[in-house]
Amino acid sequence: MRRGLIGMVLAVAALPAFAAEEDIVLRGMGSFHVGGRVAEVSGKPVRMIVRQPGGPLTKLDPNGQYMVEQMYVQYFLPKQRKGKLPLLMWHGGGLTGVTYETTPDGREGWLNLFVRKGWDVYNSDAVERGRAGFASSDVWPSEPTFLTYADPFERFRIGDGEGSWSPDPTKRKVLPGNQFPVEAYDNYMKQSVPRWLTTDNAIIDAYIALVDKVCPCVLLLHSQGGALGFKVAEQRPDKVKAIVAVESATAGNLGKAAALKDTPTLMIFGDYVDQHPRWATFKKIDLEYAAAVRAGGGTVDVINLPDIGIKGNSHMLMQDKNNAEIAEVIQKWLVGKGLVD
Amino acid sequence: MRRLGIALALSLVAGSALAQGKEPILLRDMGSFHVGGRLIEISGQPIKEVVFTPGGVPAKMDPNGTYQVEQMYVQYFLPQNRKGKLPLLMWHGGGLTGVTYETKPDGGEGWLTYFIRRGWDTYISDAMERGRSGWSTTFKGEAVSLPFGDPWERFRIGAPGSWNADKVKRTTYPGTQFPIEAYEQFMKQGVPRWLTTDNEIVAAYVALVDKVCPCVVMVHSQSGTFGYKVLEARPDKVKALVAVEPTVGGDRNKIASIKSTPILAIYGDNARDHPRWSKIRQGGVDYAGVLKAAGGSIDVVDLPDVGIKGNSHMVMMDKNSGQVADLIQKWLVGKGLAE
């Protein structure tokens, strides 16, 4: 009882200290959209739509010009800049830049942590996601996909494989020592947005427009953002000065990997990757790409977090409870590459 | 002439220091969260075949199951030197997101950083269905995208008939403050909008108000109706309402409950004469009359009447947005809501 009380007092005392982190001092912050094109919709029939619940059918003429395929970028520029180049954070599939903001359980995410480390951070929403907006079915004929509430629990290595999910939170089987804040799983699922499966080229075009606007830079990529980011880097090797690929879900084109010979790359993988059939496959593809980059004269460092004693990480490393520790691993690598003052 | 020149030079210096963000922004914290929403069950739908990678092998996709829907995204910035006595919530208009209040299409500082710099804890959100809030297939009807030329006339950049696909043939209202050279940039901020989701949007805003208020709510355009509905639902928590070109007023049957919340309604230039806006504005003015007669507190400001000319519907993006923000800040100070 006595020990319980002391523990509680300590925990309470620790909270204000955490909240009273040092101020974030910015020399600037803002946002912009980049890329995109004006699409012409023509020859489509006029549709009848209901504009208000219970209201009458009214005419909607879908023909005309529309602004489509732009992307959204928000930036934070610390007053005391230490990163030598802008750091661009690109999220994964079905997600937005929110990935890097406050974690689902309310802690600081990598956006704040890297701003605090002195990086000019550009956090974005890919074409079709979040504040980038999406085009109508007249411009993009394919349908978007939606993730079920259960899907990432098993697929992102929070739960212990297939069958680990249960609608009843007390019956969900979490991987031993998992670092994902499972108590905030519902908040995580609120971050997901629809994803199209036919828009890769449009997404890449906008990312290239972003790179052309703000780089030379460092790319921090996650999951699907890895597959897209490597392809962008292959086309702008002079502007992408380093890549940090966090659980890249496939990589670039093997035939173009040599383009990255002067772009040092770090690949990071969390825990239980080799045991999970899906992630073992992605990792294999990533490592083949790494080998191709090396064969072309480039350098790729691969860190399996469990190998350096960092255990239990899910696919959403930047939201895991030890996200600050992993940010430090990345920072150390960036320092080692001479990218930090 | 000489005096005018000096005054102009001084105002330019003051304006540019802020606009270029020369003074650092000190935050005691910044972050984001999602609020509201619910879980729904989809069942009885056929399994679809989808191709995840172009040219790849089709995979089966079962759309049935539980989905998270109708949540709302909120990003907050808490200045170190807090001067606003309550949080300031910024709600955007139809077919748009919180980006409305961020950097202006022409690159100037928007109202988000204006109000952070004046010491307001600022909560900027994307309404349910927009931007980072995400959307779902459960909405009735379909999403509507804004045609490229549509806002030009409807948002009073130019008068009816002034739009032309050819840039050089577009005309504007005389002295428009909208940065027309950045019109395309503004259109990049547009996102699709459903026309059947008002109740879900309001539910998420109420969840936000329950989480972070008492507060001041700033609304624009479509969110005027949401601001009034949420005020009527939570009159004890919304301590002031700043309505920038609201498209609708409140419910005349609920006036008694909101009498103690001061309201500022602002209209830009040409609102009296524009065929659509003259009706919208008149509706707002009539509502204000009824509210006042019942003992409520509302100030209606037509910007041209106080010497601020040329404002479009997108007041916060206009070249003189800082001048209008000054007017709002002054009103808030006058209501004892800021130091």
- How far apart, in Å, do the first and last CA atoms of chain A sit? 50
Measured CA to CA, the distance from residue A232 to residue A154 in angstroms comes to 30
| CA A246 distance to own-chain centroid | 9
Scan residues 225-284 of A and list those with Cβ closer than 8 Å to B: none
* pLDDT (0 to 100) of residue B278: 95
* pLDDT (0 to 100) of residue B21: 53
Residues A121-133: what's their mean pLDDT? Answer: 98
Scan residues 150-169 of B and list those with Cβ closer than 8 Å to A: 165
Q: Mean pLDDT score of chain B, rounded to an integer?
A: 92
Neighbours of B121 (CB within 10 A): 24
Q: How many residues are given for chain B?
A: 339
Subunit contact A72:B99, Cβ cutoff 8 A: yes
Residue A130 pLDDT > 60, yes or no?
yes
Measured CA to CA, the distance from residue B176 to residue B311 in angstroms comes to 6
Which region among B52-61, B91-100, B194-203, B220-229 has the lowest average model confidence (pLDDT)?
B52-61
* pLDDT (0 to 100) of residue A57: 78
Residue B327 pLDDT > 70, yes or no?
yes
Residues A188-213: what's their mean pLDDT? Answer: 97
Measured CA to CA, the distance from residue A226 to residue A126 in angstroms comes to 12
Residues B99-108: what's their mean pLDDT? Answer: 98
Within-domain flag for A22:
no
| pLDDT-derived band at B52, boundaries 50, 70, 90 | low
* pLDDT (0 to 100) of residue A143: 87
Does residue B32 sit at the A interface (CB-CB below 8 Å)? yes
State the count of interchain CB pairs (< 8 A) between A and B.
175
DSSP state of B318: S
Nearest Cβ partner for A149 among B33, B67, B145: B67
Among B111, B69, B117, smallest CA distance to B89 is for B111
Residues 6+ apart with CB under 8 A from B30: A24, A76, A112, B75, B76, B77, B78
Does residue B58 sit at the A interface (CB-CB below 8 Å)? no
| CATH for A285 | 3.40.50.1820
With beta carbons under 8 A apart, name residues in chain B contacting A32.
103, 107, 185
Residue B19 pLDDT > 90, yes or no?
no
* pLDDT (0 to 100) of residue B12: 41
Among B265, B205, B183, B161, smallest CA distance to B35 is for B205
Does residue B65 sit at the A interface (CB-CB below 8 Å)? yes
Residues A242-269: what's their mean pLDDT? Answer: 98
Instruction: Encode pLDDT of A139-193 as tens digits.
Output: 998 889 999 999 999 999 999 988 999 999 999 999 999 999 999 999 999 999 9
Nearest Cβ partner for A146 among B53, B109, B137: B137
Within-domain flag for A63:
no
Scan residues 171-200 of B and list those with Cβ closer than 8 Å to A: 184-185, 187-192, 195-196
Measured CA to CA, the distance from residue A152 to residue A318 in angstroms comes to 15
Query: Percent of chain B having pLDDT more than 70?
Result: 91
Within-domain flag for A247:
yes
* pLDDT (0 to 100) of residue B7: 42
Neighbours of A171 (CB within 10 A): 9
Residue A13 region by backbone torsions, left for phi larger than 0, else alpha for psi between -120 and 50, else beta? alpha
* pLDDT (0 to 100) of residue B137: 85
* pLDDT (0 to 100) of residue A5: 43
Instruction: Encode pLDDT of B281-290 as tens digits.
Output: 999 999 999 9
With beta carbons under 8 A apart, name residues in chain A contacting B54.
197-198, 200
- Residue to test with chain B: of A15, A21, A32, A214, most B Cβ within 10 A: A32
Residues B314-318: what's their mean pLDDT? Answer: 98
Report yes or no: A310 and A329 within 8 Å, Cβ to Cβ.
yes
* pLDDT (0 to 100) of residue A11: 42
More confident residue, B22 or A121: A121
Does domain B26-334 fall under CATH 3.40.50.2000? My reply is: no
Does residue A141 sit at the B interface (CB-CB below 8 Å)? no
Residue range(s) defining the domain that contains residue A299 = 73-336
* pLDDT (0 to 100) of residue A55: 65
Residues B86-93: what's their mean pLDDT? Answer: 98
The Cβ-side half-sphere exposure at B142, using a 13 Å CA radius, reads: 15
Instruction: Encode pLDDT of A293-308 as tens digits.
Output: 999 999 999 999 999 9
Report yes or no: A184 and A314 within 8 Å, Cβ to Cβ.
no
Measured CA to CA, the distance from residue B47 to residue B60 in angstroms comes to 7
* pLDDT (0 to 100) of residue A15: 43
Nearest Cβ partner for B21 among A27, A108, A189: A27
Nearest Cβ partner for A190 among B71, B165, B188: B71
Instruction: Encode pLDDT of B301-315 as tens digits.
Output: 999 999 999 999 999
Cα dihedral angle (B281, B283, B288, B289), rounded to 10 degrees? 120
Within-domain flag for A341:
no
Scan residues 282-301 of B and list those with Cβ closer than 8 Å to A: none
Report yes or no: B220 and B93 within 8 Å, Cβ to Cβ.
yes
Radius of gyration of chain A (CA): 22
Residue A233 pLDDT > 80, yes or no?
yes
The full DSSP string for A277-320 is HHHHHHHHHHHHHHHHHHHTT--EEEEEGGGGT-----S-GGGS
Report yes or no: B97 and B134 within 8 Å, Cβ to Cβ.
no
Q: What are B163's two structure tokens? A: 């739009």
* pLDDT (0 to 100) of residue B133: 98
Q: How many residues are given for chain A?
A: 341
Within-domain flag for A25:
no
| pLDDT-derived band at B17, boundaries 50, 70, 90 | very low
Residue A52 pLDDT > 80, yes or no?
no
Measured CA to CA, the distance from residue B74 to residue B68 in angstroms comes to 17
Instruction: Encode pLDDT of B231-282 as tens digits.
Output: 999 999 999 999 999 998 899 999 999 999 999 999 999 999 999 999 999 9
More confident residue, A242 or B48: A242
Subunit contact A102:B33, Cβ cutoff 8 A: yes
Residues 6+ apart with CB under 8 A from A148: B65, B66, B67
Measured CA to CA, the distance from residue B223 to residue B124 in angstroms comes to 13
| CA B124 distance to own-chain centroid | 9
Number of domains making up chain A: 1
Q: Show me where the domains of chain B are located.
A: 26-334
- Residue to test with chain B: of A24, A50, A70, most B Cβ within 10 A: A24
Among B143, B149, B109, smallest CA distance to B316 is for B109
* pLDDT (0 to 100) of residue B51: 67
**Residue B270 C-alpha, separation from nearest chain A C-alpha, in angstroms:** 26
Residues A131-145: what's their mean pLDDT? Answer: 93
With beta carbons under 8 A apart, name residues in chain B contacting A70.
188
Q: Mean pLDDT score of chain A, rounded to an integer?
A: 92
Chain position carrying tokens 């208009």: B93
Report yes or no: B292 and B181 within 8 Å, Cβ to Cβ.
no
Within-domain flag for A14:
no
- Provide the ipTM: 0.92
Strand partners, B88: B122, B216
* pLDDT (0 to 100) of residue A334: 98
**Residue A337 C-alpha, separation from nearest chain B C-alpha, in angstroms:** 29
Q: What are B309's two structure tokens? A: 């000319």
Scan residues 305-324 of A and list those with Cβ closer than 8 Å to B: none
Chain position carrying tokens 């209040």: B101
Residue B14 pLDDT > 50, yes or no?
no
- Residue to test with chain A: of B145, B185, B248, most A Cβ within 10 A: B145
* pLDDT (0 to 100) of residue B142: 83
Whether the upstream peptide bond of residue A216 has omega within 30° of 0, thus cis, is yes
* pLDDT (0 to 100) of residue B56: 60
